[in-house]
Amino acid sequence: MNKSCRTLLSLLLTLLILGACQHKPPKESQGLRIVTSFYPIYAMTKEVSGDLNDVRMIQSGQGIHEFEPSVADVRAIYDADVFIYHSHTLESWAGRLDPNLEQSDVIVLEASKGMSLKRVPGLEDIPVTEGIDEATLYDPHTWVDPILVAEEVRLIAEQLTNIDPDHAATYRKNADKLAKEAEELANLFEQRFAKTKAKTFVTQHTAFAYLANRFGLEQLGIASVTAQEPSPRQLAEIKEFIDTYHVTTIFVERGASDKMAKALAASSKVTLKILEPLEADPQNNLSYLENLRANLTILAEDLETRKE
């Protein structure tokens, strides 16, 4: 074979190899490609997976309640091996994806399957009938109660074990570690909250009923506190609420209005403090339980400084 023939052959081989590579792109990760719906499910799944899988979330910047996935989000779900969401009452759009997903290879897991979600206080007796949106009746916020976090990570581990039994030991070991830490956190704060005289707290986003229930506290919701500057009527409603319940602190999520805080500070002695429902990615380097602990500390410190 002369030199020009060898060059031509080597060029053809290169083209063939390149062509083959284009048809079968290398998989980015060795493990499962897992897409999750939002931060708490992402954080728990990532800790249960350890280094085994490539875990991502489609929603990171805002609350989950009003969220609808974009075309790119739906594509990311179709391209994954596994999609994990919290519950059919919270991400009701996930249920609507199912008929299409059945035609693709993606496995859909409901992380809270097996947990019993409570009704929103006051809506306990309303039957689920046609025309009633089930999502409005059930309180989804299990992820702010450490004991329910422990339960949920174990459920996630079991579901991952079913589809990836080779790594069962790792999933269970990681979930057990996190669950034990969550139970220790609950124990610590149970002792702390037991000592506070004040038991009631006021929140703008009523995400803390499970947490309140766990620690013998009571959550009061105040819907008039929004991201906008309050109208004179809203301000009057808030003031009446503050006087009725002797409120000194209103807990808000990040991004609540400065104008609201100033309006309240000017007209009463109430302060606004941040208490995160942990629905958006906190964008820090803390673990999920460290973020939860920071939240619990803010609430405990507030109750500890109050006399009733």
Residues engaged in binding Zn ion (CB under 5 A): 207, 277
Task: Kindly state the smallest distance separating residue 288's Cβ from Zn ion, in Å.
Answer: 16
Task: Kindly state the smallest distance separating residue 181's Cβ from Zn ion, in Å.
Answer: 24
Q: Which is nearer to Zn ion, 97 or 207 (CB)?
A: 207
The DSSP H or E segment spanning 273 is strand 271-274
In degrees, rounded to 5, the angle at the alpha carbon of residue 100 between the alpha carbons of residues 99 and 106 is: 105
Q: Which is nearer to Zn ion, 39 or 193 (CB)?
A: 39
Task: Kindly state the smallest distance separating residue 253's Cβ from Zn ion, in Å.
Answer: 9
Question: How many H helices and E strands in the chain?
Answer: 10, 8
Give buried/exposed letters for 257-294 (b at 16+ CB in 10 A, else e).
Answer: beebbebbeeebebebeebbbbbbbbeeeeebbebbbb
The pair of three-digit structure tokens given for residue 278, joined into one six-digit string = 């942990």
Q: Which is nearer to Zn ion, 73 or 279 (CB)?
A: 279
Task: Kindly state the smallest distance separating residue 129's Cβ from Zn ion, in Å.
Answer: 24
Q: Which is nearer to Zn ion, 32 or 144 (CB)?
A: 144
Task: Kindly state the smallest distance separating residue 120's Cβ from Zn ion, in Å.
Answer: 11
Contact 117, 111 (CB under 8 A): no
List phi, psi (to 5°) of 138.
-105, 140
Chain residue whose CB lies nearest Zn ion: 207
Q: Which is nearer to Zn ion, 207 or 289 (CB)?
A: 207
